[in-house]
Amino acid sequence: MASGLVFLLLFVLLHQGYAASNYGLALTQSLLYFEAQRSGKLPHNQRAKWRGDSGLQDGRVSGVDLVGGYYDAGDNVKFGFPMAFSITLLSWGVVEFGARFSAKHELSNALAAIKWGTDYFIKAHPSPEVLYGEVGDGQSDHACWMRPEDMTTSRAAYKIDAAHPGSDLAGETAAAMAAASIAFRRTNASYANTLLGHSKQLFDFAHNHRGLYSDSIPDCKTFYKGSGYEDELSWAAAWLHHATGDKFYLDFLSSPGSSGGQQSEFSWDDKYAGVQTLVARLVLDGKVPNSGVWAEYKNNIEQFICSCIQKGNTNIKRTPAGLLWWYDQSSLQYVTSSMLLTTIYSDYLANASANLQCPRGTVQPSELISFARSQVDYILGANPLRLSYTVGYGRNYPKQVHHRGASIVSIKKDPTPVGCGEGYERWFSSKSPNPNILLGAMVAGPNSNDGYNDTRANNQQTEPATTGNAALIGVLARVA
């Protein structure tokens, strides 16, 4: 009880003098961030005007067109694994909250953000058992500080195939394309069917040729090494069942012990909590019985959500000011991904006229939304530093974001190429704010004591990533 009172007092103090969050504005800006992350030939309606075309030769050395897609964070590599997870989360937000996106006049922009990714995945999947999972070399790229428009580092393309499998990468990409097919079903049925065809092939590829993609694409090990692939296979099956209703995918999820157990996070490396959420919807809707393995799925996700909202047996750690906290690096993306599940599950419960039964009490669906709002409010500025962790939102936000393109003068303003070492000497080491505002980018976030050091060198706190923003976008649409 005492700890609860302390948190309540902190919450009141933090909100004194704090303007209510403008979730709609934050949603608009967060979608703009994805435009700043685009690789390839930029469209005529590009809104991040300081960016230029980049990566126009991607894939050519390998005889395949790999132009397009997204840079994952503050570098210029296209890592397929986190890119696919980002597209899955963006699609899920639209699938669940499409009407809310429409109400804020952002549905078309959300679909455009998804399509920029899925168009690339179609190119990256030229045959049923081939998938390109990375373009660029992580080591040489990170040795340079260059605008994407100026890249002189390797743009090698790396793939998985039957002889060099990657079930985690293929499974996540299958999930992304299945989820996106649902998002596009009403507005572009032909495109949705194309995505679904690729998704089915990728699931079969992942299922029939087992292995970790990091063993086939060793360069990714330093950056996005997966810890396993069973979760991605289940994640893909859950989305394919959602998209098709095919019993084959439901049967895949029904084997004993396949529910993943109680989770402590939902992230680019661990998808089980997402699988559990999708399966729990089937239980709540009466499409599978609330018993056996199906009950395990539902119980596991409910215990995870209970731990997030501090009503579980083993609760997720919080900062002194109440922000959920996981790791020293990029902690906010774990906050937004868990809150995406929380808001989605709130609606699942409400639709079933059900409540959440936690070890520390019964929780109504509306309470889950309130908790999610508290986390979003912290991100948008209701914190001890009065700092918005999304760039450009409010008056006080990170100015030295760890991001190559944003930290170097725009090529539109000065087309003189910036060399590999020059970028570090002149721009990375500068104490001045970034010359380009990376509007809507959610940075990695504060430390466990609500502290934040706004310097480019502090990538643990100042680097944004598409995975974190993709989850935030869905949450913002729900709470707006």
Catalytic residues, by residue number, are: 75, 402, 454, 463
Using CA atoms, how far apart are residues 480 and 467, in angstroms rounded to an integer?
20
Q: Which residues of 145-175 are buried (b: 16+ CB within 10 A; e: fewer)?
A: bbbbbbbebbbebbbbbeeebbbbbbbbbbb
- Report residue 178: phi and psi, to 5°: -70, -45
Structure tokens at 309: 């909202």
Using CA atoms, how far apart are residues 443 and 12, in angstroms rounded to an integer?
25
In sequence order, the 6+-apart residues with CB closer than 8 A to the CB of 451 are 385
Structure tokens at 275: 């699988």
Structure tokens at 435: 């010359």
In sequence order, the 6+-apart residues with CB closer than 8 A to the CB of 156 are 61, 62, 135, 136, 137
**DSSP secondary structure, 325-362, as one string:** ---SSSHHHHHHHHHHHHHHHHHHHHHTT--EEETTEE
